[in-house]
Amino acid sequence: MEHQTTVESIHPSPTNQKRKPNIIRHTEKWDSSRVSCPPHILSGAEYTKDTRHELFGAVAGGSGSSKPEHFQRQQIVDGTSLPCSKTNMRINLRTNQLHEIAHPNIHDDGFDYSEDFDGIQTVDDKKFYLNFKCIVGKGGAQTRSLREVYAFVKGQLHVLESEQGVYFANILDGDEAHHSMSKFTYLLSLPEFEAVKNKVYVGDLKGYFAWFTQWFE
């Protein structure tokens, strides 16, 4: 199905050079039949501490911590032929409303806000907000991260009770994220979220493309 929308055409550098896409902005017909999962993407469960280190090098702390996110973002751009722009959009978890706010903690109600979404994809009147995570190995820090994602997903479900044209995708790669997926399946299966649960994706990067495409069939 074709849609009139502003997109970015990506022309990658030769494979023997460091990848730096040349992005040309223009308006064209975007066709959802273009969407496909890049063939080299691993399933989320295949990312272990060792695999992540092999692919991204040192990740813990510093600039290295953003390497998995950069990879996930680029694969989504490549697989959908659409930009995945950064955003300051967050959820106020007390009011269950979306707000674009860069620095909530300078305000007294700063702790009411979730983390910001890592990306947004827009087609016509549909907005897809994305949350990127790669959680590997067992430990207290991993459990805390997944519990925070759980609260974030619950906030997304509540937002959808009043928002139209909004969709949320939580890309959870990593063996520990995969191990905890039943917790999110439970949340999405609760009767109170029956009407909106399909508009929230919780899963690995590989599964995002089929979920995304269904909204244009």
SS3 for 56-119 is HCCCCCHHHHHHHHHHHHHHHHHHHCCCCECCCEEEECCCCEEEECCCHHHCCCHHHECCCCCE
Q: Is residue 18 part of a domain?
A: no
Question: What is the full DSSP assignment across 122-173?
Answer: EETTEEEEEEEEE--S-SHHHHHHHHHHHHHHHHHHHHTTT-SSEEEEEEEE
pLDDT at 159 over 50: yes
Report the domain count for the chain. Answer: 1
Q: What is the pLDDT of residues 160-205, one digit of tens each?
A: 999 999 999 999 999 999 999 999 999 999 999 999 999 999 999 9
* pLDDT given at position 171: 98
What is the average pLDDT score of the chain?
88
Q: What is the C-alpha separation between 100 and 109, in angstroms, rounded?
A: 14
- Tell me if 129 is assigned to some domain: yes
Q: b/e string for 110-147 if b means 16 or more Cβ within 10 A?
A: eeebbebbbbebbbeebbbbbbbbbbbeeeeebeebbe
Q: Which residue matches tokens 């990740």?
A: 59
- The more confidently predicted of residues 113 and 57 is 113
Task: Map residue 46 onto helix, strand or coil.
Answer: helix
In sequence order, what are the residues at sequence separation of 6 or more whose Cβ sits closer than 8 angstroms to the Cβ of residue 105? 111
Q: Work out the angle at residue 136's Cα, subtended by the Cα atoms of residues 66 and 92, and round it to the nearest 5 degrees.
A: 60
* CA dist., res. 156 & res. 173, Å (int): 19
pLDDT at residue 92 tops 90: yes
| 169 Cβ neighbours under 8 A, 6+ residues apart | 128, 129, 130, 131, 200, 201, 208, 211, 212
Q: Which tops the pLDDT comparison, 1 or 186?
A: 186
In this predicted model, what pLDDT tens digit does every residue of 120-136 receive, in sequence order?
A: 999 999 999 999 999 99
Kindly state whether residue 155 falls inside one of the protein's structural domains.
Answer: yes
In terms of pLDDT, which residue wins out, 101 or 9?
Answer: 101
Question: Tell me, what DSSP letter sits at residue 47?
Answer: -
What pLDDT does 76 receive?
A: 98
Task: Please give the pLDDT value at position 58.
Answer: 80
The pLDDT assigned to 1 comes to: 61
Q: Which domain holds residue 186?
A: 36-216
pLDDT in the model for residue 64 = 55
By residue count, the chain amounts to 217
Domain assignment of residue 25, yes or no = no
Residue 163 covered by a domain? yes
Are 34 and 81 a contacting pair, CB within 8 Å? Answer: yes
Within-domain flag for 206:
yes
Q: Is residue 24 part of a domain?
A: no
Query: For residue 36, what pLDDT is reported?
Result: 96
pLDDT greater than 90 at residue 217: no
pLDDT at residue 211, as a whole number? 98
Q: What is the pTM of this model?
A: 0.86
Contact 88, 102 (CB under 8 A): yes
pLDDT, tens digit (0-9, with 9 covering 90-100), for 6-33: 444 333 333 333 444 434 344 578 999 9
In the structure, what pLDDT confidence band is assigned to residue 59 with cuts at 50, 70 and 90? confident
Residue at 152 is within a domain: yes
Measured CA angle at 16 (ends 209, 10), to 5 deg: 40
